[in-house]
Amino acid sequence: MKRFCSKDLVAVIVITVLVLSEASGHRFGYSKPDQRRWSKAHESCAGKHQSPIAISSSKAIPLNMPAIELVGYNNLLPGPITLHNNGHSVSLGIPKTDPAKGKHPYIFGGKLQNEYELEGLHFHWGDKNNRGSEHVLNDIRYPLEMHIIHRNKKYKNVAEALGYSDGLTVLGFFYQVTEHEGNEIGYLLRSFPAIEDYDNQVHLNYTFTLNSLLGDLDLTRFYTYKGSLTTPPCSEAVTWVVFPDLLNISISQIRRFRVLDTGMHGSPMVDNYRALQPLGNRRIFVRKVNARNTALDVVRNEIDHTKWDWVY
């Protein structure tokens, strides 16, 4: 497995942005000039395997692979859950599950070779309804994208995981604006008034399941590719799994994101998405959907995984 240079690893350990679901004190901007400056402080931001990217269903390679299995997503999350305005996004910090009470949520399947444990989640959104998501699907940029971050269990923490190409898996979900409120995200939005100002955080007085955020989404079909964090230090340590089925959010609901403050001269937190990055010679895979494709078919599909390995 690819190991990054020591200089990159030091930067990763010092600055773990968003993935740890808490502010690190490091500030960066999303304007075009600001994004061009990312690579001056973080060499990886100029890498060849960066995220986000534009995904085209017609160009993705269909592949027989297991579904992504979401273990513990139906269990109530351990509390207290922290909702935080870190100046770049809204993040959820989720304590680790007490081993005596069961396993912490984790995922496996797809092209993943290991189990990946939940670390947290955050959002990216736009000032208008025609932009906001980081990934673009079939030339559509959706108004909101949710990222659920998972760490490879073989690494002891996120800082270590970011030093390896198989360190993290991020599940990406798109939202569309509809006339009706999204029930899934409604409970979280009720706590947004408490975090409107930069660096405000609130401990939620309730808990919920991760599946409650996903509603009735069809999770059998997804796109997957090798990429990076979409914020500095842009470590190329992420396997992305992007689901095309859409979650709903109303106009009044998404406005609650747009009134949050970045703490930078009163600027509202909007358009907090990175510019699209070149795909280069990477491959994007899309899961073939059939009744027999489950995560228990790993051995059966091993030949396919060998044939379509992560070749750049």
Q: Cα angle vertex 180, ends 130, 189, to 5°?
A: 80
Give the pair of three-digit tokens for residue 273: 């998405």
Burial of 240 (0-12, 13-18, 19+ CB in 10 A): buried
Q: Which residue has the tokens 């995984």?
A: 305
The one-letter amino acid code at 159 reads: A
Buried b (16+ CB within 10 A) or exposed e, 152-190: beebeebbbbbbbbbbbbbbbbbbebeeeebebbeebbe
Instruction: Mark whether 88 is an active-site residue.
Output: yes
- Choose the catalytic residue: 42, 49, 84, 88: 88
CA atoms within 13 A on the CB side of 204: 21
Q: In whole angstroms, what is the distance from residue 264 CA to residue 269 CA?
A: 9
State the CB neighbour count (10 A cutoff) for residue 46: 12
Q: Cα torsion for 286, 278, 54, 218, to the nearest 10°?
A: 40
Residues annotated as catalytic are 88
